Chains A and B, each alone.
Chain A
Amino acid sequence: MENQLKNAIRKLLEEKTVAVAIGYGRVGVDGAVGAIFVTNPDDVERLVWNSQCRQNLAVHLTRPEVKALGKPAVVVKGCDARAVVTLCNEAQIARENVYVVGVVCEGIVQADAAGAPTDKLCDKCLSCVEHAAKNVDLLIGDPAKAQELDNQNAPNAKTVGNQAKLAKLRAMSQPERFAYWREQFSKCIRCHACRQNCPLCYCNRCVADKNRPTRIDSSASLKGNFAWNILRAFHLAGRCVGCGACSAACPAGIELDLLNLTLANAAEEQFGYVSGRELGQAPLIGSYALTDKEDFIR
């Protein structure tokens, strides 16, 4: 599969279909996987595809430094592909201006407390029913295998992994749940790794950075931390695709994906809306329908 990926990207670069390919490479310590930006067809050998390709590369599509390189190809997993779709639906990128190379992903492994890869799948992967990336220009890997894994996960998709964690949290009393988030947010150092690693946190000026006047405290105090994390979750309501980039990047190990999953579940339960499922879908928060069950909208 890795060779299939390399050959496809070589062709895209050689034929000048794209100017740069955003893929995974062994760029970190001990061969840790991170984004690489391949512009020369001879460099495709640096590309890798394995169970450590945790990062959502769609985050790079909106960065000015990357845009300056020209039309990109981007390697995406099923979850990441939904972020590309939502970026298109929110008019941040034009679909024809990006070449989406989807991969069949059999699951990404968690990192241990020291940051080294384990053999344990990420929570989001346990409930994944999109092992083959959708809405792509090219799919690398065996779609039959992806279908088989989707079928395996489908019956339990709403009850395992981070859904199980969330169910446990929701079963708590309100004071218990508050105590849980208080403990989680007390670890927050306001580095904003959650925001910067999120493909959908693309605001030119984040409300957390506004200081005339200050909307939310920039302090890593409990007050500031609650304000920041809850505000970010609300801003991702009906938008978060559940890729888990935020919690994977959090240096304090805060389970931010659970916060976002709560709102993603609400969007699906209340409006049948799943962010990034289809191209051309109107954004949930940015649109309304006269058939809405609430009267005030009419």
Chain B
Amino acid sequence: MSHVITLDQLKQTLGAKLADGARVVAPVLRGELAFFQEVSDLEQASFAPRVRFQNSIKEFFFPRHETLFSFVRQGSDVQLTDAPDFDVEQIVVGARPCDAASLPILDPLFAWDYQDRFFQQRRAKSTVVVFACKESDGHCFCSAMGGAPDNTAGADAIMFDLGDGSFEVRCVTDKGKALFTGKTTESDKVGKACDPPKVDFEIAPIANWVRNNFSSPAWEELSLRCVGCGACAFVCPTCHCFDIVDEGSYSKGKRVKNWDSCQTALFTLHASGHNPRATQGKRQRQRMLHKFVIYPDKFGQNLCTGCGACSRSCGVAFGVRPLLTALAQEVAKSEN
């Protein structure tokens, strides 16, 4: 027996949550492009199957711009006010499995030497409903990263589009059950995800090459076309670097946390003017090291889910998959 919910019932379920004061995040079409954003009415949401979304759901756990505290200065006295706690229920629905899979990867990072209440509170308050993939494209490589089109890592429930205006719902956690219990009907229809994307490289030998070839000239050669913007990092569900800056005036303002990217020259520019990562090759090397060596060494998981968002958003046809493909050739050369 499976559990099925119609699109209308899904919208009603989420609409009721909205009416209860919950925050609902769903895919919204803006022109031809789909963005995850908070909706005020479920009619704004588009649950049609698609491979590409312009943003990752990470921004509802780790916003692109977040206030840490505000300050007011009066004479020699400074008053600090902490940013409020995140205490609203949040339901994020419609994400691809490779997007949600980033959340458990990021959990240890935000609970490591510093307990990041901003991320942790959002995680605790959120229910994540993923849609199993109906199709993949050439950018997808979840199958190389331990994922799958019906992966449930980071998800509280997974839905399978049955193609008839209804979805099979499989609850993964208690949060998922709490959202869907009593909302579905029993059925004999069973959903199916698309086949896993085909991948012609293996991560382990590439990661090993990355670890051992810090000084390889391949880094500069392969990175020549990268123009050093932050698009890949900002659309990536796992990239989590941020910058902390003060905004406002001398007497009144706030300290904010903004996304940052290791691909920009400014990222490692010292006050002296020296830049230890002066070229794009060094910056791309850092990105690969962080994703496939440093992060797994420290937290046991690769900092990549194989979603392909980076290469889909790249202005110069670069990104993780094209670079991994090129590095696989370096591995082959080194073995010969």
Contact = CB atoms under 8 A, between A and B. Distances in A.
Nearest to B264: A192
Contacts of A63: 227, 280
B258 A220 contact: yes
Contacts of A192: 229-230, 264
Interface string A182-223: 010001011111011100000000000101001001111100
A193 B315 contact: yes
Contact of A190 (B139, B224, B259, B315): B259
Interface in B307-328: 308, 311-319, 321-322
A221 B33 CA distance: 20
B224 A249 contact: no
B89 interface: no
Interface residues of A, number: 47
Contact of B316 (A112, A197, A214): A197
B322 A218 contact: no
A80 to B, nearest CB: 14
B220 interface: yes
Interface in A255-273: none
Contacts of A230: none
A115 interface: yes
Given A29-B138, A195-B229, A248 B315 contact: yes
B174 interface: no
B312 A115 contact: yes
Given A34-B317, A114-B52, A29 B311 contact: yes
A113 B321 contact: no
A27 B279 CA distance: 20
Given A113-B33, A195-B229, A219-B65, A189 B234 contact: yes
A82 interface: no
Given A66-B224, A191-B230, A197-B229, A249 B247 contact: no
A181 B56 CA distance: 23
A29 B316 contact: no
Chain B interface residue number, banded: 35 or more
B312 A189 contact: no
Interface centre among A30, A191, A252 (most CB of B within 10 A): A191
Contacts of A33: 317
B228 interface: yes
Nearest to A29: B138
A220 B35 contact: no
A32 B35 CA distance: 23
A35 B225 contact: yes
Interface in A43-94: 55, 59-60, 63-66
A190 B234 CA distance: 9
B322 A214 contact: no
B173 interface: no
A35 B280 CA distance: 14
A59 B224 contact: no
A21 B238 CA distance: 36
A32 to B, nearest CB: 4
A59 B280 CA distance: 14
Nearest to B63: A220
B266 interface: yes
Q: Which 8 A-B pairs have the closest CB atoms?
A: A28-B317, A249-B315, A34-B317, A196-B229, A30-B138, A191-B230, A251-B313, A193-B229
Interface of B: 30-35, 50-52, 54-55, 64-65, 137-139, 220-221, 223-225, 227-231, 233-235, 243, 245-247, 256, 258-259, 261, 264, 266, 278-281, 308, 311-319, 321-322
27 contacts: A28-B314, A28-B319, A29-B319, A33-B317, A34-B318, A35-B225, A37-B221, A59-B227, A60-B224, A63-B227, A113-B34, A183-B30, A187-B30, A189-B234, A189-B259, A192-B229, A196-B227, A197-B227, A197-B316, A209-B266, A214-B245, A214-B246, A218-B243, A224-B65, A249-B316, A252-B55, A253-B30
